[in-house]
């Protein structure tokens, strides 16, 4: 099963549980905290994907980092660690936010850039994405200096990669294939 499909399944299950327990607001806050923390910490991402570090250490570390989270969020972390799927925690959190926003009638556009977007650029992107989707959209900007420049835009299941890193990889593939 692909990582994305697994993340969607976990996110749907957590959203259903949060709706049943009337805790969607608290769980969404936790998921946004997870996404922000994961995007800010390369070391944390490496630790979670490392096969050398024990699952118990990963679980203990995550529960310590996200101390004070709702019981549903802590349960998700525990379940992902126990099922050896902790490497998709960030993806599950992103999918949860998207599903929750869609349930509220909104959409979230994730824009990954190498540098923070200024207000004018954010307004421009928001206008284009709203016209494209026809829905009320909010912008989540994450910073990833690995994309070098440009941007990666994700809205729901759609993704548009206009990053310099992607273009360089395309050129590299073309040169390699033509040799």
CB atoms within 10 A of CB 169: 12
What count of residues does the chain have? 179
Q: What is the pTM of this model?
A: 0.64
63 contacts 30 by C-beta, under 8 angstroms: no
The C-alpha atoms of residue 42 and residue 40 are separated, in whole angstroms, by 7
Sequential pLDDT tens for the chain (179 residues) = 456 788 899 999 999 999 999 999 999 999 999 988 888 888 888 888 888 989 999 999 999 999 988 999 999 999 998 998 888 898 999 889 888 888 887 777 888 888 888 888 888 888 888 888 777 888 888 888 888 888 888 887 788 888 888 888 889 898 888 87
| Tens-digit pLDDT profile for residues 129-174 | 888 877 788 888 888 888 888 888 888 778 888 888 888 888 989 8
pLDDT at 2: 59
Domain range summary for the chain, segments of one domain joined by +? 3-99, 106-178
Supply 128's token pair: 């284009």
**Cβ neighbours of residue 105 closer than 8 Å, sequence gap 6 or more:** 135, 136
Q: How far apart are CA 51 and CA 55, in angstroms?
A: 9
- Torsion region of 45: left, alpha or beta (phi above 0 gives left; psi -120 to 50 gives alpha): alpha
CB-CB contact of 148 with 114 (8 Å) = yes
Please report which helix (H) or strand (E) contains residue 58, including its range: helix 55-65
pLDDT at 12 (0 to 100) = 93
Please tell me the class of the 3-99 domain.
Answer: mainly alpha
């Amino acid at each position: 099963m692909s990582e994305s499909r697994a993340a969607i399944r976990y996110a749907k299950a957590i959203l259903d549980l949060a709706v049943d327990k009337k805790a969607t607001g608290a769980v969404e806050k936790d998921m946004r905290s997870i996404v922000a923390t994961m995007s800010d910490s390369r070391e944390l991402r490496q630790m979670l994907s490392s096969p050398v570090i024990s699952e118990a250490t990963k679980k203990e570390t995550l529960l310590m980092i996200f101390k004070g989270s709702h019981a549903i969020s802590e349960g998700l972390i525990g379940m992902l660690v126990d099922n050896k799927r902790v490497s998709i925690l960030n993806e599950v959190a992103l999918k949860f936010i998207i599903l929750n926003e869609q349930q509220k009638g909104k959409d979230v556009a994730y824009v990954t850039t190498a540098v923070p977007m200024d207000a004018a650029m954010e307004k421009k992107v928001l206008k284009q994405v709203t016209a494209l989707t026809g829905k009320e959209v909010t912008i989540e900007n994450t910073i990833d200096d690995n994309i070098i420049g440009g941007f990666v835009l994700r809205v729901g299941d759609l993704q548009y990669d206009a990053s310099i890193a992607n273009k360089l990889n395309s050129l590299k593939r073309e040169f390699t294939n033509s040799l």
